[in-house]
Amino acid sequence: MMKKTAWATAIVGLLLLMNAASASAQDRRVELRFQGGVNVGVPIFLNVDRDIIKPGASITGWGGFDIGWVVFDFGLGLQWTPIQTNNIPMVVQPSGTEPLVRWFFSPGVRFQVPTIDAVLPYITGAFDANLWSFQAAASGCAWFYCRGDSRAQFTPGFTGRAGLGIHLKKAMYLDVGFKYAMSGKGDFFDRTEWWVEPFIGFIYRGDRDRFGGTGY
């Protein structure tokens, strides 16, 4: 009889412990939601000849997992920068304005302040996998626009971004901010290149716990 009582007590105790653990896990559940957006910007290269390299345009789309103060995201985009070949020395047959094109894929991490209803401040750091291409114009000078090869070439890079999401309605935010980016030399450039980029776009921040959440 005593053994049965001991077994019953142990089973009840185990059930109570499992229930307490389950409740604790629910309290500590990560509120996982989708966050994504799109923005357009004006990339401006630094330390270049302004008569040759003009401000350009870019479009970026991104999406990721929002767990509150942190977002893990992936971005994909296209950047276009006009190069005025008429102003490049040593070009025998200039062809006017030719585009410097950059395709990029960017995994990154965003740190945000989600506790303010009206705005969503954030900073982002992302590593960039870049593919650059430019129509070969000449050879013999030390700049990428004097390439003798028009094929797309890979370079690694990094982009830092600071911005502010302004709450419009429901899950939508107006996104305004500033990027500071660099590209390593890779197979394309003769030096590390830097540029700045003001941008504007939209952010979608999905419903809380849309993916069901998960315990720590």
Is residue 27 predicted with pLDDT exceeding 50?
Answer: no
The pLDDT of residue 23? 46
Q: Which residue pairs from 84-87 have beta carbons closer than 8 angstroms and sit at least 24 positions apart in sequence?
A: 84/51, 84/52, 84/53, 84/54, 85/137, 85/145, 87/49, 87/51, 87/52
The pLDDT of residue 198? 98
Is residue 22 predicted with pLDDT exceeding 60?
Answer: no
| Phi, psi of 124, deg, nearest 5 | -135, 140
Q: Which two tokens stand for residue 202?
A: 């939209």
Is residue 54 predicted with pLDDT exceeding 70?
Answer: yes
The pLDDT of residue 59? 98
pLDDT digits (tens, 9 = 90+) for 112-166: 999 998 999 999 999 999 999 887 665 556 567 666 666 788 999 999 999 999 9
Asked if 200 contacts 39 with a C-beta cutoff of 8 angstroms, the reply is yes
Is residue 211 predicted with pLDDT exceeding 80?
Answer: no
Model confidence band, residue 209 (pLDDT cutoffs 50, 70, 90):
low
CA dist., res. 161 & res. 76, Å (int): 15
* CATH for 31-205 (2.50.20.10, 2.40.160.20, 3.40.366.10, 2.40.37.10): 2.40.160.20
| Segment among 5-9, 37-41, 107-111, 118-122 with least mean pLDDT | 5-9
| Segment among 4-8, 54-58, 92-96, 101-105 with least mean pLDDT | 4-8
In this prediction the pTM is 0.79
Greatest CA separation found in the chain?
104
Q: Annotate 144-200 with DSSP letters as a single string.
A: GGG-S--S-EEEEEEEEEEEEEEEEETTEEEEEEEEEEEE--TTT-SS-EEEEEEEE
pLDDT digits (tens, 9 = 90+) for 174-191: 999 999 999 999 888 888
Model confidence band, residue 96 (pLDDT cutoffs 50, 70, 90):
confident
